[in-house]
Amino acid sequence: MSERPQPNPDPATAPYWTGASQRQLVMPQCEACEAFHFYPRTLCPHCGSQAIRWSPVSGFGSIYSMTVVHRAPSPAFEGLVPYVVGLVALDEGPHLMSNIVNCEPADVHIGQKVLATFLELSDGVALPVFEPIDKKSS
């Protein structure tokens, strides 16, 4: 099995990956209108302000959409199948695509409440992933 791909931070995404390495989920937040957004941009998509800061978010959200992957896209993921890729709507507003972990893929469903956790990929590199708050299927 080959090594799992590692993030390649650039100046726009470095604060996100630095936060993740410290086990904290951070998002760009507008200083003018206070709205969070994701992906990183130089202008607030809500009000157009250039005053953007990186702020911690709760990590709570719900599954907006999801799929179960049964065929690995590369050798690096062969040992993980089946796994869940979900689009998570954070309570603060932004949507993130990530893995849903620590549960049976068949138990994951749209609307399910989740919380961010971090998967260590290598020394000092962590990937934000999400796990169900209530692991029982409802």
Query: Residue 38: what are its φ and ψ, rounded to 5°?
Result: -160, 125
pTM, two decimal places: 0.91
What's residue 36's pLDDT? 98
What's residue 3's pLDDT? 80
Q: 19: domain CATH number?
A: 2.40.50.840
The verdict on residue 88 lying in a domain is: yes
Distance between CA atoms of residues 60 and 91, nearest Å: 6
Q: For residue range 5-42, what is the model confidence (pLDDT) as tens digits?
A: 889 999 999 999 999 999 999 999 999 999 999 999 99
DSSP state of 15: H
The verdict on residue 9 lying in a domain is: no
Q: For residue range 84-119, what is the model confidence (pLDDT) as tens digits?
A: 999 999 999 999 999 999 999 999 999 999 999 999
CB 84 within 8 A of CB 31: no
The verdict on residue 138 lying in a domain is: no
* Banded model confidence at residue 124, pLDDT cuts 50, 70, 90: confident
* Banded model confidence at residue 136, pLDDT cuts 50, 70, 90: low
Indicate the number of domains in the chain. 1
The verdict on residue 2 lying in a domain is: no
The verdict on residue 122 lying in a domain is: yes
Which residues span the domain enclosing 51? 14-132
* Banded model confidence at residue 122, pLDDT cuts 50, 70, 90: confident
Distance between CA atoms of residues 42 and 130, nearest Å: 27
The verdict on residue 33 lying in a domain is: yes
The verdict on residue 137 lying in a domain is: no
The verdict on residue 7 lying in a domain is: no
